[in-house]
A = this chain, B = another copy of it.
């Protein structure tokens, strides 16, 4: 299985380490030998049709900050050039999310699919802005598009709703899908002011470079788009979400909620309307998790409400979701 890896940040590096540590096991148990034939970051690229050396990749990135130094010639090829010129089976898109035009991820995904590659995206941007059309493009090109890592990190929320609950009808769902805002709101419930709580979250590395993605609810809204399309078969994109962030939540709101045995949480919900907004949740509700935890509650027609709780982020967690998608793609291919 030949892989092109777009972006070589924490997730990309974790994936390379994971593939390395699991190499024998993956071959023995699933018959797959993933080979990374191309990788690029903002500095440049590295390619090798017979598979790049995983340890060397990690070493070079650590030492020089870019994979371009993998070979002496210092490969300056851009991502799109790699996608055009290197043959591969699967493209893994792990560049940074943006919700304005979703580039460069959008172009990577579209060009890879046109070249017949299956795509695994942990980048939420392209899916948030164009889920329905990307799915159509995948179908048209007879390739698979997977994105387990975009919602819940290592917690397989999307798979649970789609496969574990097959035959059941999910009627609505609500989730705490952004760990950063949940961490801030948890600290506010414990008495911190918004500004101090935000500063603390920043110092721990929980806040995105563009803090608006967390604080204004964009990250949660992007995940809601993906869930609504995948789980509820809706055809929606980011502008369809009514989105309010947590900047206006103040001490009064928190105190008012506490009096009712509730906490204020940033909730993304799908129940006719698609809404992201701060809401009061009862402390007795399993959905009411603290710290950086994520949680989602699916309500189904016959099996009641089911809540899944897990860490929503982390390099290795997201890498493990990519591995699941790889195995899923492998399984689907071998069937057809």
Name A residues whose Cβ lies closer than 8 Å to a Cβ of B: 18, 26, 30, 153-156, 159-160, 163-168, 284, 286, 289-290, 293, 295, 300-311, 314, 316-317, 319-321, 323-324, 326-328, 335
**Contact in complex: B164, A303 (CB < 8 Å):** no
Given contacts A307-B308, A317-B303, contact A164 B156 (CB under 8 A): yes
When distances are taken between beta carbons in the complex, the residues of chain B under 8 Å from A321 are 303
**Contact in complex: B168, A164 (CB < 8 Å):** no
**Contact in complex: B154, A303 (CB < 8 Å):** yes
**Contact in complex: B159, A164 (CB < 8 Å):** yes
When distances are taken between beta carbons in the complex, the residues of chain B under 8 Å from A311 are 303-305
**Contact in complex: B303, A306 (CB < 8 Å):** no
A165-B324, A166-B324 given; name 18 further pairs at CB < 8 Å.
A18-B302, A30-B167, A153-B303, A154-B168, A156-B164, A160-B160, A160-B164, A164-B164, A167-B327, A301-B320, A302-B317, A302-B320, A303-B320, A306-B309, A307-B308, A307-B309, A307-B310, A335-B335
Tell me, in angstroms, the Cα distance from A18 to B303 when the chains sit together: 12
| 26 CB < 8 A contacts A-B | A26-B167, A154-B168, A154-B304, A154-B306, A155-B303, A159-B164, A160-B164, A163-B164, A166-B324, A166-B327, A167-B323, A168-B323, A286-B289, A286-B293, A286-B295, A286-B309, A302-B316, A302-B319, A303-B311, A303-B317, A303-B321, A304-B317, A307-B307, A307-B309, A308-B308, A309-B309
When distances are taken between beta carbons in the complex, the residues of chain B under 8 Å from A30 are 167
When distances are taken between beta carbons in the complex, the residues of chain B under 8 Å from A165 are 156, 324
Tell me, in angstroms, the Cα distance from A282 to B153 when the chains sit together: 25
**Contact in complex: B320, A168 (CB < 8 Å):** yes
Tell me, in angstroms, the Cα distance from A160 to B304 when the chains sit together: 17
**How far is the CB of A331 from the nearest CB of chain B, in Å?**
9
When distances are taken between beta carbons in the complex, the residues of chain B under 8 Å from A160 are 156, 160, 164
Partner of A306, one of B18, B155, B300, B316: B155
Tell me, in angstroms, the Cα distance from A321 to B300 when the chains sit together: 12
When distances are taken between beta carbons in the complex, the residues of chain B under 8 Å from A154 are 168, 300, 302-304, 306
**Contact in complex: B310, A303 (CB < 8 Å):** yes
Tell me, in angstroms, the Cα distance from A154 to B284 when the chains sit together: 21
Tell me, in angstroms, the Cα distance from A217 to B290 when the chains sit together: 31
Given contacts A164-B160, A284-B290, A293-B286, contact A304 B310 (CB under 8 A): yes
When distances are taken between beta carbons in the complex, the residues of chain B under 8 Å from A328 are 166
**Contact in complex: B319, A310 (CB < 8 Å):** no
When distances are taken between beta carbons in the complex, the residues of chain B under 8 Å from A303 are 153-156, 310-311, 316-317, 320-321
**How far is the CB of A324 from the nearest CB of chain B, in Å?**
5
Closest 9 CB pairs of A and B: A154-B303, A302-B320, A306-B310, A156-B164, A307-B309, A159-B164, A286-B309, A304-B311, A167-B327
**How far is the CB of A214 from the nearest CB of chain B, in Å?**
20
Tell me, in angstroms, the Cα distance from A319 to B304 when the chains sit together: 12
Tell me, in angstroms, the Cα distance from A302 to B18 when the chains sit together: 9
When distances are taken between beta carbons in the complex, the residues of chain B under 8 Å from A290 are 284
When distances are taken between beta carbons in the complex, the residues of chain B under 8 Å from A310 are 303-307
